[in-house]
Structure 1
Amino acid sequence: MFFMDVDKQVIETPRAQTCCGENVVEYAELKYVKLSFIPLFPFYTHYQTQCKVCKSSVEAPLSRTSLLSIFNKFIGIIIVLFIALYFWQDYHEDIAKEMDILKLPQKYDFYLIDNNRFNKVQSQRSEFVIAKVISANKDAIEIVISNYIYSRKRDLIKAIRLDTLVFDDFFSSKSQFITLAELNALYKEEIVYRILRPFNYTLFGGVAVRPTMPEKLYKGYNPTAINQEGIRSYRNNDFVEALSLFKQAAEQGDAWAQINLAQMYRDGEGSKIDNAQALHWFSEAIKLGNKTAEFEYQQLCKKEITCKL
């Protein structure tokens, strides 16, 4: 954890002035506030010139510690501020995008929802679901809710990465209508806490919408039974079993299993992190014409010195 604290530093600088046959020393005491080990800002300075032999104080020096020295000491706060500014700007850009989507909902928008609050149920167990817009007009939207419930928000992102949004059994067959006023209220109350719109049919690198293109361009798109069994094991946090099943399906030429296997090697799930294996299986999926694999390969390749795009 990070804690605020006060610390000080004493800077010794020899001066040409002498006393007792020795050069006197200027002491500059600098007190500052720090966050853990990162100096943030100074709030007190004190200068004293003293003889090292007789310990007597000499007339206060005219010179002072340079601003450059102080700047170098507190460069940490500048870095922290720049990082904070970056994340602040990124956060507000995401909010602005979500507000734009909220104003004009479209088919195939997705909402991440706090299920307990959405259904007005009190429970000690956190529940989160994914909703998909299947129709929209100027007054209301029609949504379907996922059949799968997640206990952690990050698990929803993992599910999206695994292409589960395009599986036939992922969403309920029963739909419900929500007016735009109700949707805005749900978003304001953070019951709908995230609004997503796919780009190039994908979200977070996973396929979110089935492409409307000729079959020959996505031949082999539907996952095999072994791959789906691997996904079920993954949802149950049985990563070793999921890895084994994905590998079986991948070796049989299932491009989506190859991607799932590569992602697990990349993230160190079910085995140690193995980027070489991840790149290999992404590459195999690319050979089968999978665009998601191409995107994932490029992202990982940028982090590997030995990888060539």
Structure 2
Amino acid sequence: MYINEAIENQEASTFFKTIKPYQTFSICALVTILCLAFFEYHTSIAEEKETLSIISNPKIDDIYFLDFRLLSDKLRPTEKYRLAKVVDITGDIITLVYGDFYYQRQNAAINSIKYSQLSYKDYFQSKRYDLHLDVIKSMRNTQAIYLAKRPVRGKLFNRLVGPEKHEQPSSYLTYGKKENISGEAFLNEKFSETNLESAFELFQASSNLGYAKGQVNLAEMYINGQYVKKDFEQALYWLKQASLQSYKPAILKYGIICKQVELCNIVDFYQELTAAGVNIKVRKLDFELSK
């Protein structure tokens, strides 16, 4: 028994002695390459799942990484990649704004976030693109959107994805604001069976008190069919009430929903706002990506 072990140890020692130093280096390099390839593969799979999840269930502030060569044929050789941000969601319509910069390499687009470029006021263009969710999914299928990331508390890679917001404290009582805040809390509650009912009732109370943001939130519950049946007529009513208070998000959302309602006339809506003294500064909205 001891003789056999001695022979095996001697053979093993002889084997390692026969390996040249450069062969040892080659083996280590090969193992390292295989480990890196394995890590990159699993990272790629994880990013693919994350991207599909984000695309299927979009949220405001989501960042899309675009291969713009698949969207436009009027680019310079160095203009390849671009960033987009979700700034609004109205039913199945996703509103995007595009970054003002193009990048030659994909890692440059990521570095722009890490270098806090997205926190600059003018990083994203002011023009808005209203795209149906099916169009967004199609852009993913064609790899026009090759990656999607979701910020946490407005940050991605620990950097802001928009200008820092400073809310001015107010000593004035705003009717309906408290009810709206409570409604939003219930709307975001995932582990309550009555959260949508409570949110709806609070948004109703807020809307009846004339709070514009509460009116928009109530309209969105009608648009999405949350707790109540989908009702674009009711949604348009509450969006108009908020729009008459010069609340820009309501004006923009009204335009999106109006296009989906046969008897809705957007020109009459704008004229009614103007007659009420609302200063309308709404840019032209595109429902298809303009090349």
TM-score, with normalisation over the residues of structure 2?
Answer: 0.45
Structure number having the greater helix percentage = 2
| TM-score w.r.t. length of structure 1 | 0.43
Q: Could you say which structure has the higher strand fraction? A: 1
Q: Which has the higher contact order (CA 8 A, sep 6+)?
A: 2
